[in-house]
Amino acid sequence: MYDVANTVSRVANETYTHSRRIMPAQPWWDNLESSFHKFPDDFELDLRTELTVDATAFGDVLLRTAGASMLSGLAVPRSFQPMQLKRDAGLRAYYQRKATRADPDVFFKRPDSSRVEMQTSSAGPMRFRPKDGSCELLSFESPFRAVNPKMRERYARQKRNARAVAQYWRHNDGPRPTIAVIHGFMADPYWLNRMFFALPWFYKQGYDILLYTLPHHGKRAERLSPFSGHGFFSHGTAHISESFAHAVHDFRIFLDWLESEGVSKVGVTGISLGGYTSALLASVEERLEFAIPNVPVVSLADLVMEWFPVSVPIKAALKATGTSITQIRHELAVHSALTYQPKLPRERLMVIAGAGDRLAPPKHARLLWDHWDRPRIHWFPGNHLVHLDKGKYLKQMAAFMTEIGFNRM
């Protein structure tokens, strides 16, 4: 049981006093208990906060079940076809070897941005309209090729995904320190993230904003995709690993371009799948000023084991093929932040998590927090989507940026 009497924001949020670490010794995929997905997510709370957390957790379970049902019908059948399972099994050792190296530069090669042509266009009618700046859409043809040579032809078939896009807000008197924001799974609309993260407020604090679109989402999704993000998880495990390599690759090209425009400071935050990616970026990209993953997941293999009903066909497929949870963890570990030491110092890392979150359960945030040697953490009494007391952690984020000198140009 987690002792967070001093960490849930409605009570206070200065320290996390729980002493037991749950992050195992490396390699974590071997040493994390196989039943990790069954670990409880209980907290020691006062009655009022406990009732709030339990109510939001129940809402998340309902939402998780609905989302897992959709994935079961629209994504899992393609990923778990016999031919796809056989193909992934043949490719698994490649990604496991990369993960075993525990060197992010082995899998995440620095891109060559010298021949990339960044284009700007209108950000559309629902764009942010600052009085003292501009809002535009940035895009480029990504030179990314799948890291695994055997995946290059298949991965390249998704043509729209090859066009990287981001919305960029900048002050007229810039360049300014820039906050890069990465959306969650299926939650790519810029207006949605603008509202959720109170980005106009951060813009008024003097920061420029880059809203980065993950592969297979929004304008990057194929035309016949049943929902935004479908392509991320509907083509098997090797494809998932390449998608994260692609996400890091294109983000670094945007970072290169910002530097060429005179931006000297960039930090990253992201929610859910964006939290997973922002934590990964802290392990890959030393130029970042900070990383603040919000309701992050750290082990996709363990996450899906908890998502009924999608967990049912996945467990059946693993059993039928004689594949263990450890083997899948090892394969997917190539893009988990738990596999690598962060390239940012502890004082530039922060974790935000919900006590009632059941889509990205608190135990995932705790693993990341342990792995990062317990940097600043903020627990709020809400679930994955309902972030109660969100204003408190947004103010903490702003204070954190000021404390590390991010606000100084």
Q: How far apart are CA 312 and CA 69, in angstroms?
A: 11
Query: pLDDT above 90 covers what percent of the chain?
Result: 71
Hey, what are 352's tokens?
A: 């935000």
Q: What is the pLDDT confidence band of residue 19, given thresholds at 50, 70 and 90?
A: low
List the chain domain ranges.
21-403
Mean pLDDT across the stretch 117-138? 95
Adjacent-strand bridge partners of 260: none
Over 80: is that where the pLDDT of 151 sits?
yes
Q: What is the pLDDT of residue 68?
A: 61
In CATH, the number for domain 21-403 is 3.40.50.1820
Query: pLDDT at residue 144 above 50?
Result: yes
Q: What share of the chain is helix, strand, coil (3-state, %, to 5)?
A: 45, 15, 40
Q: What is the mean pLDDT of the chain?
A: 90
Instruction: Please report the sign of the dihedral spanned by the C-alpha atoms of residue 214, residue 215, residue 220, residue 224.
Output: negative
Q: For residue 319, is pLDDT > 90?
A: no
Q: What per-residue confidence (pLDDT) applies to 118?
A: 98
CA 248 to chain centre: 11
**Mean pLDDT across 263-273:** 97
- pLDDT band for position 85 (cuts 50, 70, 90): confident
> Is the confidence at residue 15, as pLDDT, over 50?
no
Which one has a higher pLDDT value, 349 or 235? 349
- pLDDT of the residue at 408: 81
Residue 62, SS3? Answer: helix
- Model pLDDT, residue 261: 96
* Confidence at 80, pLDDT banded by 50, 70, 90: low
pLDDT value of residue 103: 98
In this predicted structure, what is the pLDDT of residue 310?
A: 73
Provide the pLDDT for residue 16.
Answer: 33
AA identity, residue 32: L
pLDDT, mean of residues 61-71: 71
DSSP 280-346: HHHHH-TT-S-EEEES--S-HHHHHHHSTTTHHHHHHHHHHHT--HHHHHHHHGGG-GGGS--SS-G
Pairing of strands 163-171, 178-182: unpaired
Lowest mean pLDDT segment, chosen from 161-175, 296-310, 329-343, 362-376: 296-310
DSSP state of 384: S
